[in-house]
Amino acid sequence: MLGAVLGGGAGAQSVPRVEISVPQVVPPDPPAGPQVRGVDVLANGTIRDLMRSGFPARLHYHAELWTASGVFNTLESSRDWDIIARYDPLTKHFRAARVNPENAPERVEMLGDFDHATALDSTLADPYVVPLIPRERSRRYYYVVALDVDVVSLSDLDEVERWLRGELRPAVRGQRNPGGVVGRGIRTLFLRLIGAEKRHYEARTKIFRSG
Amino acid sequence: MKVYWVLALGWAASVSAQDSSALPREVIDEAVTRYNAPAALRAVGRLTVAADQDIKGDVAVIDGPVTVAGHVGGRLTVINGDLQLIAGATVDSGVLVVGGTLAAPGGDSVRVGGAALVFAQKLRYHLEGERLVVSTETDPIKNWWTRWLHRRDRPNYTDITLTSAHTYNRVEGLPIFVGPSIRRALPWTNGSLSVDALGIVRTENFAEWNKQTFGYRFGADMRGGEDPRLTLALRAYDEVAPVENWQLGDGEVGLASFFFRRDYRDYFERQGASGAVSVVNDARTSLTLSLADEHWYPRAERNPFALIPTDDGWRPNPTLDDGNLRLVALTARIDTRNSETDIWSGWYAIANLEYGNGHISHFGARSPPEAALIPVTPVPGDVNYTRLFLDLRRYNRLAPNAQFNVRAVIAGWLAGDPLPLERRFSVGGPGTIPGFDFRSAGDDAPDVASCSAVPAAPAGRPAECERIILGQAEYRTAFHFGLRMFGRRIENDGAWVVFTDAGRGWLVGPRLGALQYPASTFPNLRTFMTDAGLGVTIDPIGVYVAKALSRPEERPHFVIRVRRTF
């Protein structure tokens, strides 16, 4: 039952997941942060269909560095960043950008322009080195990373956010037809029902000793 | 050499200055090439080349303005800024201005070798490191992301808000808020002013269309400063409020009401106004002083729709106290948890100290002090009280996949008259001690859950305890599972939970039976309700089984939660 992993047959579909690994420290190189990659996180029929229908996908990463010394573990530092991926129906290309890397809120790094979804998946699976480096040497640490994937309506982003906060909470600009509020709210609820809700992935490293 | 000008009048006249797509492609390419040239001297922002300066090679500037009085030995390129060549300025290899103007007040003393090209249209670009990259068309990701980044910081907006009250209850049905919301930035305070004028429509009263159908909530919030931030809030309201909202979440109460006709809260109507001043540090630590003048009214339950109605119908909403009160409250909140959603470590504490003073014109029924037959109703009169509520939690990560968490809730009367019913407490049930039924310590036991005199409890069995204490402890261990269902592989994370709870409530006064103790006395620990259980959670759903330990004959209880237990 729970806890049992039943393997698939030959050619089994790759499971969406986030991975985090600690690179080996090779002196005299300075220690580097962990490598994080999202594997096949957008390789989902529902998500792909939503993206082709004009809904951008947002991948929110949250990485933490914990010390494993003493009775209780303590959080030493954390980092957040996002990857936004969108399908352009005119060019029929996927585009992706990383935002808020290294806690620079205005900085946008374009990851590329892809003519196939597999190319986008491949880029998203490239390791990203997170600047989370242990402050002390010879202490026991581990990393934790969480990835939330959601697909949101480009034009109704504010309404979606309010729905997510308050269950039934669309909001309308003063210029819009207030009668459309309910329609947009139903559309947003529909997004959640059809699988546009947030997908959550987590991964942890083993405990390691900082060099 | 003379200076000559080329003005792209055709483009400038026909398109917006912000539309870089109207710039000739070759102009865009040339500007980008010049800026990214390895040997170019690049600058961002204002640049001045003084009369005695001699720069060899190309110069490229974005977001100027640029003033030249000296010598530029190569090409001068200005992107999205104005260029001024004053007396004595010399540029050897031409000038290109994109998104700005060129002025030469130096007249004939200015020398520019080669072409001087000026285009008024701005160039839309972004920087990748030091490299200039042009957005030759509307870049949906970056523009969209910029909007997304700043949507929370939109300084000014006017909205019409249509929202629910996040819960469904037996008094209102589903209350709906509708009305305008306005926000304006206040740059001189580094803050904002928000005003909401919301009407409340109660679906359960909609068919009758009377005073009870409607309410209102008007509010104005002024925020200023930055870590710490100061907030001033003013409110006027006529709304239905819960007596206790700390045990279960709004969503859980609403779902239990809607699906199973079990409403785990009691309600009263309050009409009045309040003001509050808060100091907020880092968005997670705050101190609030509030003043309020309210009229409390009892409200009866209605009969809203429930998907799986029970034979008993809705639990009556107890008749609470009716009166006017002035309230002064000090609330402190400290939150050092690593995350609000994925909690593994840290402290979370809320402390509320309230002083109330006023006149109760009609007291709600209370349990008789001894084993009498009917509830008692005190005579109308003045009341003043002091009350404390403290919720203290500590989360401790033991290992990458294990945590041990504890919680203590200590609340109750500190001084003055007995607490109004709207300010009393209870324990027991799915939100506190799930091994027992809601507000019940057992049919034949003293009611240390809600301090009522069974079977003479008032209708609806209100929370009557003047003091409570509750302790909760849990051990969680995370697991990852994967299985194949319907041809799809499903993997997810979950957690096993082992927990135990203990607590009780009591009244304050001369020692009387097992329910009433003097103010300085603490009940014997053997009188506490205790339970233990285990469960499994796959966020956000948790399924638990709890068994009462202090009362072995109590049957196990099966509980479903849609959020963490604490």
Whose structure tokens read 């947030």?
A198
Percentage of residues in chain B having pLDDT higher than 70: 89
pLDDT digits (tens, 9 = 90+) for B389-407: 999 999 999 999 999 999 9
* Among the partner residues A6, A97, A158, nearest to B145 by beta-carbon distance: A97
Hey, of A1, A5, A65, A175, which one would you mutate to test binding to chain B, going by the most B CBs within 10 A of its CB? A5
Q: Where are the beta strands (DSSP E) in B120-266?
A: 125-128, 131-134, 157-164, 175-186, 191-202, 214-225, 229-242
Which one has a higher pLDDT value, B281 or B23? B281
Rounded distance, CA B314 to CA B59, Å? Answer: 79
Residue B176 CA: distances (Å) to CA of A159, A172, A183, B182, B217 = 16, 16, 16, 19, 11
Residues of A in contact with B128 (CB under 8 A): 109-110
In chain B, which among 382-421 make CB contacts under 8 A with chain A?
396-401
Cβ-in-10-Å burial (0-12, 13-18, 19+) of B517 comes to buried
Q: Which amino acid is it at A186?
A: I
Question: Are residues B552 and B530 in contact, defined by beta-carbon separation less than 8 angstroms?
Answer: no
Rounded distance, CA B392 to CA B220, Å? Answer: 30
The pLDDT-based confidence of B372 (bands split at 50, 70, 90) is: low
Q: Looking at the complex, report in whole angstroms how far the Cα of residue B396 sits from the nearest Cα belonging to chain A.
A: 6
Residues of A in contact with B251 (CB under 8 A): 167
The pLDDT-based confidence of B488 (bands split at 50, 70, 90) is: low
User: Considering chain B, what is the average pLDDT of its residues?
Assistant: 86
Question: Are residues A99 and A108 in contact, defined by beta-carbon separation less than 8 angstroms?
Answer: yes
**Rounded to the nearest 5°, which phi and psi values hold at B59?**
-130, 130
Tokens read off for B21? 């797509």
Rounded average pLDDT over B438-465: 87
Q: Do B338 and A64 touch (CB under 8 A)?
A: yes
Residues of A in contact with B397 (CB under 8 A): 66, 72-74
Rounded distance, CA A16 to CA B56, Å? Answer: 55
In chain A, which among 27-86 make CB contacts under 8 A with chain B?
56, 62, 64, 66, 68, 71-75, 78, 84, 86
Q: Tell how far CA B436 is from the center of its chain.
A: 32
Q: What pLDDT shows up at residue B394? A: 98
Q: What pLDDT shows up at residue B376? A: 75
| Helix, strand, coil percentages for chain B (3-state, nearest 5) | 10, 50, 40
In chain A, which among 138-177 make CB contacts under 8 A with chain B?
142, 144, 146, 154, 157-158, 161-162, 166-174
Q: Do A4 and B481 touch (CB under 8 A)?
A: yes
Tokens read off for B18? 């912000």
Q: DSSP secondary-structure letter at B107?
A: G
Nearest alpha carbon to residue B34 among B82, B74, B85? B74
Question: Are residues A108 and B126 in contact, defined by beta-carbon separation less than 8 angstroms?
Answer: yes
In chain B, which among 325-344 make CB contacts under 8 A with chain A?
338-339, 342, 344
Q: What pLDDT shows up at residue A106? A: 56
Q: What pLDDT shows up at residue A107? A: 63
Q: Do B483 and A4 touch (CB under 8 A)?
A: yes
For Cα atoms B101, B104, B110, give the angle at the middle one, nearest 5 degrees: 135
Residue A134 CA: distances (Å) to CA of A28, A36, A86, A144, B414 = 17, 16, 35, 13, 48
B494 in A contact zone (CB under 8 Å)? yes
B226 in A contact zone (CB under 8 Å)? no
Quick check: B415 pLDDT over 90? Answer: yes
Q: Looking at the complex, report in whole angstroms how far the Cα of residue B162 sits from the nearest Cα belonging to chain A.
A: 6
Cβ-in-10-Å burial (0-12, 13-18, 19+) of A121 comes to buried
Q: DSSP secondary-structure letter at B153?
A: T
Rounded distance, CA B120 to CA B116, Å? Answer: 13
Nearest CA in chain B to A163: B163
Quick check: B561 pLDDT over 70? Answer: yes
B70-79, B98-107, B431-440: the lowest-pLDDT one: B98-107
Hey, of A17, A40, A58, A72, which one would you mutate to test binding to chain B, going by the most B CBs within 10 A of its CB? A72
HEC profile for chain A?
Answer: CCCCECCCCCCCCCCCEEEEECCCCCCCCCCCCCEEEEECCCCCHHHHHHHHCCCCEEEEEEEEEEECCCCCEEEEEEEEEEEEEEEECCCCEEEEEEECHHHCCCCEEEEEEECCHHHHHHHHCCCEECCCCCCCCCCEEEEEEEEEEEECCCCCHHHHHHHHHHCCCCEEECCCCCCHHHHHHHHHHHHHHHHHCCEEEEEECCCEECC
**Rounded to the nearest 5°, which phi and psi values hold at B254?**
-65, -45
A178 in B contact zone (CB under 8 Å)? yes
Rounded average pLDDT over B451-468: 90
Rounded average pLDDT over B261-266: 94
Q: Do B481 and A5 touch (CB under 8 A)?
A: yes
Whose structure tokens read 């459309």?
A180
Cα radius of gyration rounded to whole Å, chain A: 20
CA-based end-to-end distance of chain B: 80
Q: What pLDDT shows up at residue B356? A: 98
Residues of A in contact with B141 (CB under 8 A): 56, 84, 86, 95-97, 108, 110
Q: Tell how far CA B554 is from the center of its chain.
A: 39
Q: What pLDDT shows up at residue A51? A: 83
The pLDDT-based confidence of B148 (bands split at 50, 70, 90) is: low
A90 in B contact zone (CB under 8 Å)? no
Question: Are residues B373 and B456 in contact, defined by beta-carbon separation less than 8 angstroms?
Answer: yes
**Rounded to the nearest 5°, which phi and psi values hold at A2?**
-60, 140
Rounded distance, CA B217 to CA B170, Å? Answer: 20
Rounded distance, CA B22 to CA B28, Å? Answer: 10
Q: What pLDDT shows up at residue A104? A: 57
The pLDDT-based confidence of B338 (bands split at 50, 70, 90) is: very high
Q: Do A8 and B484 touch (CB under 8 A)?
A: yes
Residues in chain B: 566
Quick check: B288 pLDDT over 70? Answer: yes
Q: Which amino acid is it at B455?
A: P
Question: Are residues B545 and B555 in contact, defined by beta-carbon separation less than 8 angstroms?
Answer: no
Q: What pLDDT shows up at residue B167? A: 81
Residues of A in contact with B339 (CB under 8 A): 62
- The dihedral built from the CA positions of residue B203, B209, B213 and B219, taken in this order, carries a sign that is positive
Residues lower than pLDDT 50 in chain A = 1-12, 154-182, 193-196
* Among the partner residues A105, A172, A207, nearest to B160 by beta-carbon distance: A172
Tokens read off for B317? 């909403």
Q: What pLDDT shows up at residue A187? A: 52
Nearest CA in chain A to B537: A2
Global model pTM greater than 0.90: no
Rounded average pLDDT over B281-290: 89
Rounded distance, CA B491 to CA B473, Å? Answer: 29
Rounded distance, CA A167 to CA A188, Å? Answer: 10
Question: Are residues B546 and B531 in contact, defined by beta-carbon separation less than 8 angstroms?
Answer: yes
Contacts of B227 (CB under 8 A, 6+ apart): B281, B282
Cis peptide before B434 (omega within 30 of 0): no
Nearest CA in chain B to A100: B149
pLDDT digits (tens, 9 = 90+) for B24-57: 777 888 888 899 888 788 888 889 999 999 999 9
B231-245, B276-290, B349-363, B487-501: the lowest-pLDDT one: B487-501
pLDDT digits (tens, 9 = 90+) for B219-254: 999 998 877 889 999 999 999 999 999 999 998 999
pLDDT digits (tens, 9 = 90+) for B174-210: 999 999 999 888 877 778 899 999 999 988 766 677 7
B307 in A contact zone (CB under 8 Å)? no
